[in-house]
A and B are shown apart, each in its own frame.
Chain A
Amino acid sequence: MSEAPNTWADSWATSQQALMQAMFPVQPSGVASATGTPGALQEQFAELRGTWQESIEKWTELVKQGPKAAPLTPEALRELFAPDRWSGTGPGAFDAGLRQVLEGPKYAMLFDLDRKLLALRQLASQRDKDVAAFHAILLKAWNAALERFSSSVASTKVHAPPTWRDMADRWLAVVNDTLIEAQRSEAFVEAQRKMLRSASDHRLQERKIAEAWCDAFHVPTRTEMDEMQRTVAELRRQLRALERAGGPRPAASHPTASRPRKRVAAKKSPASVRS
């Protein structure tokens, strides 16, 4: 058995030579093969072999020129796994996280404010567009109401309202019917939906920005408060369920039932009207 190679480069070169031997076993030149292959074919094989060998030699040379890995001696292993190499102040795996904990977030991480504000601006713009679309539908309805009212007043079939008040009542009736008609339309329902949605989206983006500041300055965020309140609500439910499972309580044991009663004085309004 040959001596085991010390480096990866030696190992690679040896394995390549072995592969070469296997692929192109040495044959006397000018001898035809058992199958009667002509000499021209042998020459082609020889050329291929030569080219391949050259290539392998070049690669072997290149590999040998690379950094020579030291053999895995006990010293090398000790150095490799030395604690200071793993946990030191260099670019260790945990250093970035530890640094953030100790020093707080970096500005680059904290203040992507420009991007957040840009998103907010875009959402505000979307909201304004949706509000405008909503108003456009209502405006169209108002115009239709005015047209209907004008036709009604101009019509000879319908008596003109005798007083300003009658006129106002007729106008209001026309507006009422026309607006309700518009408000039942698919276009209105969809425009209203979009308006509410984009207003919600905008508000939530505002919250994101506010929460970034809260995070930086040790202030609990809305999201955290919501989570806490949710926990409280769930705990209360569990408590109630446990109380119910314990059966009905006597009146005196109830925390609020035993409190003195508070009378809410009747307030007589001087100008109020008695029936």
Chain B
Amino acid sequence: MPTAKKTAAAQALAEFSDFNLKMARGQQMLQRLKDEDVQIATADKEVVFRQDKVTLYRYAATAKRSLKVPVLVAYGQIGRYTMTDLQEDRSMLRNLLALGVDVYAVDWGNPTRSDRWLAFEDYVHGYLNECVEFICRQHPLSAINLLGICEGGVFSLCYAALYPDRVKNLILTITPVDFHQDQAEGRANHGLLNLWTRGLGADDIDRLIEANGNLPGELMSYVFAQMTPGATLSKYNVGLLDTFDDEKKLLNFLRMEKWIADRPHHPGEAARQLLVNLYKNNELIRGEFQLAGRTVNLADIKVPVLNVFAKDDHIIPPKTTQALRAAVGTQDYTEIGLDGGHVGVFVSGKSQGILGKGIHDWLRKRD
């Protein structure tokens, strides 16, 4: 009987019945699923380089090489690189591999208290540089393609500015550049992290790092959850319930949860630089950010730049990253704006056909 023709009582009963049926179906699915079903970052890869807690992976080719120059993917420290290969059908890395790209990815590991003093300069001059040098030696090449994500994009920007000879093409995704443009579009849900960080004094941040050694992953999880209160409140009730219609959805949900829960601590000194020098003082776009005594000047980036952003990114609002166009020293600057939010760029169904292909096509013209 069509819903519209039912009485209110019959409609309520039908809803109640559907709800219970869905719950029972979900329970069956959850009982059936095992840990191995929700593995993430499962693309075939090998460890090719390791230093301290940092690991460089090279991914196994799945198609004939279409680009001569490999791509090194550098994620940030707030979250883990595994998001780029969440599952087989939602994986930027697999999409690139399928298009014939030789892919490397760096995993910063799980920093502990002993990594408290690691700073941006250690990641840029040290680990990232070591990874690039390794790849250059292996191929051999004088420069490679560098793909930075979020804070990894900031690492990549610094690296490209300080080591211009080592980067052939620079690709950035969801990367903050002008940290004070968070309200340029006047969207209330955008840039809360920017606002809250500016609300802290530098000494508050120092005390926070001193007390914890690092920027605790749990604190960042709390901050991100608070930035989207509606989604956070509904996730484990109506959100989870929605996935009980379809096992694919449930698995996707669980894998996302697995990635979210795996949030590393951010090394203290680098966190202090991120929060004070970048978020508060906006030194990157001002050309004042210093690493080991060298100033990062974005105008020194003269290689082609592809900047991918999410149009509804509440963490890195579009204008904060689009500011890069005017800052870099190259005319070969391209933007791709994708629908959706911050992580959606990598894990949404819609972006799967666009992101990997967009990067590949852009690189192919500059290979």
Contacts and interface: CB of A to CB of B under 8 A. Distances in A.
Interface of A: 163-165, 168-169, 172-173, 175-177, 179-181, 183-184, 189-190, 192-193, 196-197, 199-201, 203-204, 207, 225-226, 229-230, 232-234, 236-237, 240-241, 244, 248-251, 254, 256-257, 259, 261-275
Given A256-B50, A261-B48, A230 B117 contact: yes
A177 B199 CA distance: 21
A184 B188 contact: yes
A168 B238 contact: yes
Contacts of A249: 133
Mostly, the A contact residues are helix
Contacts of B248: 273
B210 A183 contact: no
Interface string B221-239: 0000010111101100010
A197 to B, nearest CB: 5
Interface in B62-90: 87-89
Nearest to B121: A237
Interface string B40-74: 00111111111100000100100000000000000
Given A190-B199, A264-B57, A200 B208 contact: yes
A192 B114 CA distance: 28
Given A193-B200, A263-B46, A265-B44, A172 B234 contact: yes
B292 A267 contact: no
Interface stretch (B30-38, B172-180, B327-335): B30-38
B2 to A, nearest CB: 13
Contact of B15 (A164, A234, A236, A261): A164
Given A165-B238, A229-B114, A272-B88, 4 more contacts: A184-B188, A184-B195, A237-B126, A248-B133
B213 interface: yes
B137 interface: yes
A116 to B, nearest CB: 16
B241 to A, nearest CB: 9
Contact of B49 (A193, A199, A257): A257
A269 B37 contact: yes
A82 B250 CA distance: 89
B121 A267 contact: no
B192 interface: yes
Given A200-B207, A274-B89, A267 B36 contact: yes
Interface in B107-160: 113-114, 116-119, 121-122, 125-126, 133-134, 137-138
9 contacts: A172-B238, A176-B233, A192-B196, A197-B207, A203-B212, A232-B117, A261-B46, A264-B44, A269-B37
Interface residues of B, number: 68
Which among A180, A183, A192, A261 has the highest number of chain B CB atoms within 10 Å? A180
Contacts of A164: 15, 19
Contacts of B125: 237, 240, 244
B126 A240 contact: yes
A207 B49 CA distance: 38
Given A226-B116, A233-B117, A180 B192 contact: yes
B20 interface: no
Which among A203, A257, A274 has the highest number of chain B CB atoms within 10 Å? A257
Contacts of A168: 234, 238
B28 interface: no
Contacts of A244: 125
A132 B133 CA distance: 52
A15 to B, nearest CB: 61
B211 A203 contact: yes
Contact of B251 (A234, A264, A271): A271
A226 B118 CA distance: 12
A162 to B, nearest CB: 8
B229 A179 contact: yes
B189 interface: yes
A251 B208 CA distance: 41
A200 B213 contact: no
Given A256-B51, A257-B134, A275-B352, A193 B204 contact: yes
A184 B192 contact: yes
A241 B188 CA distance: 45
A237 B192 contact: no
B137 A250 contact: yes
Contacts of B233: 172, 175-176
A229 B116 CA distance: 8
Contacts of B134: 251, 254, 257
Contact of B229 (A169, A180, A230): A180
A264 B45 contact: yes
Which among A189, A234, A244, A273 has the highest number of chain B CB atoms within 10 Å? A273
